[in-house]
Structure 1
Amino acid sequence: MSRATVPGLIVSAPRSGAGKTTVMLGLLRCLAEDGVKVRPYKCGPDYIDPAFHRAACGEASRNLDSWAMEAGILADQLALPGEMAVAEGSMGLFDGVATPGASGNGSTADISAITGWPVVVVMDVSGHAQTVAALALGLKQFRPDVHVAGVILNRVASPRHERLCRLALDDAGIAVLGALPRRGDLTLPERHLGLVQAVEHPDLEVAIACYAAFLRAHVDLAALRALAAGGMPLGMSRLCRPPAQRIALAQDAAFSFTYPHLLAAWRAAGAEIFPFSPLADEPPPDADCCWLPGGYPELHAGRLASAHNFLSGLRQFAKSRPVHGECGGYMVLGESLTDASGQAHRMAGLLGLETTYASRRMHLGYRRARLLSPLPGYDCGQSLRGHEFHYSTILSQPDAPLAEVLDAEGNTVPETGSRRENVTGTFFHLIAEAA
């Protein structure tokens, strides 16, 4: 069945930290309050922001990733119903990897070019004034297939500061859609992987309501809505295959990094998902496969080590059925996890992996893996695309490698994942099968 995109726009910025998440959440809430059936998206491999999007507008958010998703998988995400789509960019508008992947280099600009959605750029103007016009003009002219429709000024210091920025942008022919005064109380708490998860925010509803009120006071929302464009056909959709018919899925504050498009695709393919909570000391429910996603197990290592029902149930499950762990889930399947204070905690022992957060090193980037052994849902020899982002260090990885793993530029990555009998694990989070 042929699919078409919903008319939409993209909230982007010249760099990370410019304030696009504040604008995105406030805009989603305003649209929802105004009765618009909004469809939220996140550009790139981010599994934290989509939960904030859902809290803001009540609709599930999906990832759009031009490096990891070929056209059929992108089409499946873009075909979701709605009156208007709003996508939050990642990093700077044109930032991605050097070597193109399935549909592009992973940049927000790629998604604009593919969908036809115009871009609204959030510009942090602290520290400069008229120069903002040169930056905006460069963004507007850099790629002819990307339509930069206007800017929202952020962290404006004074009426005079705003006037200088507006005059320069007007001379450059760039629309100013709003100007947000500098405020120190509109930030979201963060930790090493980015924002603190939505479920952990102490008062998320109040925060989002404040963002919405802030936007209503300082942004031309009618002009923003009028910019929504696109709606081009994207051809046939293709679903990501489920790992099994009945899936036991770990789901709590320690295991929450699962891409929404994967869960939706598994369900659409007829799979049943049975959530359980290791932190509540629940064993895996009866299923054909157990899947432990990533999250923050290092913050809960003591509780997990003492969760005897969970650990014994997991070991029993693995005797006869496949178990797979991604990143944090992979670490919990190993022998031990040492937290940031240097205390080692005994984990499930289903793999020989030993990891530590006491010596932190960032591992970040896209991954292409060719399986050397089967993974639940995938055969030996198949290629997968994913993304890795963690700060743990491997102390020991004695089991057979699960895959040959390359980064986006084709360089070999030493974190190969591992396999022992029915148990597999990877440091990369699966996004899609490689064509």
Structure 2
Amino acid sequence: MVAPLKVGIAGLGTVGSAVVRLIEQQGRALSARCGRGVRVVAVAARSKTRKRDLDLRGIAWAKDALALANDPDIDCFVELMGGSDDPARSAIEAALKSGKPVVTANKALIAKHGLRLAALAEQHGGALNYEAAVGAAIPVIKTLREGLTGTTINRVYGILNGTCNYILTRMEREGLSFAECLKEAQRLGYAEADPSFDIDGHDTAQKLSILASLAFGTRVAQSSVYVEGISSIAPEDLRAAEELGYRVKLLGVAVRTAKGIEQRVHPTMVPKASSIAQVMGVTNAVTIDGEGIPPITLVGPGAGGAATASAVVADIADVACGIRALPFGRPAEQLLATTKAPMERHEGGYYIRLMARDFAGTAATIATRLAEQKISIESIVQRHPNGKLDMTESSKPAAPVPVILITYATSEDAVHRALQAVRADKVITGRPQVIRIEKN
């Protein structure tokens, strides 16, 4: 009989508690699948006296996470405390240096210190498993690292933050403002009291930097990701997108270009017929474009105790089975350095909403400035007072009129130069709204 895998868990919050329960519930199934049992034998948490819906009888309590990581009586160290630095970092490093396999759901730590941790795992013969760090129950890490090793990846993109997707879904379906939807998301527990990390795009950027490393063999570097949040999105943008055949999503996009790997997070218009456009509410999704295969889209719950615990336990099961993959799919020393791609070089289609003054020659002035930058227009539409989009100019209200432009592929720099000239001409009021378009 093979001895059971003895697991130590640091962190007994929502996810940690769910992992303990799931291992208990799936005990027989794990033994059958792994060829050995899996047992939680020790834990560490901030408070030993806090009430938890767990039976921890027979499970040892370590003084702290570092003591647990150094405990010779555990075979696998599971870190579920969170945070990009200590105590999580020190504890994981200690476990790896002792040769223990590590399982974590800590995206912030992997995004910041993933390269060093991967090198330690390789040096000391341990494993570093982090499936739950991106997309929770969506198996995107294993798909990129192991399932598609024979495929050249050209682009990976997705909805990686449920809070933002929930807000945009409610805004679209109910015509509510961003502020109203954010308040509701906070009431329901989908958004934090300080939601800036989510709504400003930083959570998505951390996850994208991890996916880009796996897809393209680059060093994990959140600083290489261009980041833009969703707070500027207005209900009128979502209505226009709907009528133009698009839907607005906060996407994380990493793409191979002739100029290098471009990593960006920003609100994006996607065709309504695309798989990613169908993903609503708090659900996450990742699409992978590879050479010689149709796009692969993985959809599922991207957060929550049960979903995250599912991925954590799957990683623990790999340890029990003796499966050990290189943390980023190739040796850490071979991962390539990457720099932040200037968004001015980005090329693609654009949605532009302008508040045009009701002056003679306004439309001609806007068209001239765009033409000067060699920007071709796919469509120009004007929203009349009745709220409908129309291709005509039959209505000429005295107040500024919303004018929406959809461009063919052009450069970001050209768009900025054209709009700067239009503003200088004083034929529009306010700040133009610009949303990038991502085709299938």
Larger radius of gyration: 2
Determine if the TM-score, normalized by the shorter chain, exceeds 0.5: no
The TM-score by the shorter chain falls in which range? under 0.3
User: Normalising by the residue count of structure 2, what TM-score does the alignment of the two structures yield?
Assistant: 0.27
Greater relative contact order (Cα 8 A, min sep 6): structure 1 or 2? 2
